[in-house]
């Protein structure tokens, strides 16, 4: 099956996501120092695009994601979704976290039903949505398990199903596969592409893996650290499914690595 690259063809006058001149400063725990996490970042994105935010740790990519999610407010500038100013979290923007953030006291099924439940959907609707999305991530058999009984990959599948069950138009993922082993990671990448092809939406995916970004993204936004800025905005015009070992993919990876290389030297030890 060949999936055409989803791109700017559907671009309308109003972008789905619009980030304009956003600066985010934090006061460090020592209180006397100001940390500039993001400096004058602007980014427009249409619907139905898979964007990867790529950069070394400390480049503010997670901060940018949290601003879009509405967990943080920008110090300067603004974030708009469908022209509306983002002032807080919203069910239309689903979030998948690196540490899964599943509710440990709820079963797999009830975790997936959480969104529809707080939205006031009927019991029957909640159950139907959970059925659908659990089947989609292949975890129907595990509906009555508790999160601690699952492997990392399974937990993240539940978290993705939970986010999708709310039918968000934007899906935000913060290094979702960062804690998984390499094999599971690749399987999850394949599955995520299938899911986002079935239900196209704007996907913003944070990662520090160049190969992961090239494999997944329609567009890679490369960020630099201290202060966090957008360094490059690269369109990956390769059809899906992509071959991780193909010459084209390797060439993209090589180019982006070269772009990031100076950053790696500057990164302070932790």
> What is the full DSSP assignment across 173-212?
EESTTTTS-HHHHHHHHHHHHHHHHHS--EEEEEES-HHH
Interface segment toward other proteins; rule CB under 8 A; list 6-14, 30-38, 95-103, 193-201: 95-103
Interface segment toward other proteins; rule CB under 8 A; list 12-20, 63-71, 131-139, 259-267: 63-71
Instruction: Give the span between the Cα atoms of 30 and 241, in whole angstroms.
Output: 48
CA 54 distance to own-chain centroid: 11
> What is the full DSSP assignment across 29-73?
TTSS-EEEEEEEEEEEE-SS-EEEEE--TTSSHHHHHHHHHTSS-
| 26 near other proteins, judged by CB under 8 A | no
| 115 near other proteins, judged by CB under 8 A | yes
Cβ atoms of residues 91 and 110 within 8 Å: no
Q: Which is nearer to other proteins, 131 or 190 (CB)?
A: 131
Interface segment toward other proteins; rule CB under 8 A; list 28-36, 113-121, 126-134, 221-229: 113-121
Q: How many CA atoms lie within 13 A of 110 on its CB side?
A: 9
| 71 near other proteins, judged by CB under 8 A | yes
Among residues 40, 78, 99, 191, the one that binds other proteins under rule CB under 8 A: 99
With contacts defined by CB under 8 A, how many residues of the chain interact with other proteins?
28
The footprint of other proteins (CB under 8 A) covers 69-71, 88-91, 93-95, 97, 99, 101-106, 114-115, 118-119, 146-148, 162-163, 166
């Amino acid at each position: 099956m060949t999936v055409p690259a989803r791109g700017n063809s559907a671009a309308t006058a109003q972008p789905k996501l619009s980030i304009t001149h956003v600066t985010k400063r934090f006061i460090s725990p020592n209180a006397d120092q100001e940390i500039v996490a993001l400096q004058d970042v602007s980014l427009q994105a249409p619907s139905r695009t898979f964007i990867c935010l790529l950069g070394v740790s400390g480049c503010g990519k997670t901060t940018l994601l949290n601003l879009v999610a509405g967990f943080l407010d920008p110090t300067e500038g603004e974030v708009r979704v469908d022209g509306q100013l983002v002032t807080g979290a919203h069910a239309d923007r689903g979030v998948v976290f690196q540490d899964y953030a599943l509710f440990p006291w709820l079963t797999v099924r009830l975790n997936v039903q959480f969104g529809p439940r707080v939205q006031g959907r009927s019991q029957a609707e909640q159950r139907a949505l959970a059925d659908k999305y659990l089947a989609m991530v292949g975890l129907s058999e595990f509906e009555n398990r508790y999160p601690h009984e699952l492997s990392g990959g399974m937990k993240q599948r539940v978290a993705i199903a939970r986010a999708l069950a709310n039918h968000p138009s934007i899906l935000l993922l913060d290094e979702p596969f960062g804690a998984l082993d390499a094999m599971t990671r690749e399987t999850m990448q394949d599955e995520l592409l299938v899911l986002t092809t079935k239900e196209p939406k704007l996907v913003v995916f944070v990662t520090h893996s160049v190969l992961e970004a090239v494999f997944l993204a329609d567009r890679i936004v490369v960020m630099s650290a201290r202060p966090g800025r957008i360094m490059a905005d690269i369109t990956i015009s390769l059809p899906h499914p992509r071959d991780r070992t193909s010459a084209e993919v390797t060439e993209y990876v090589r180019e982006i690595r070269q772009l990031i290389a100076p950053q790696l030297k500057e990164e302070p030890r932790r």
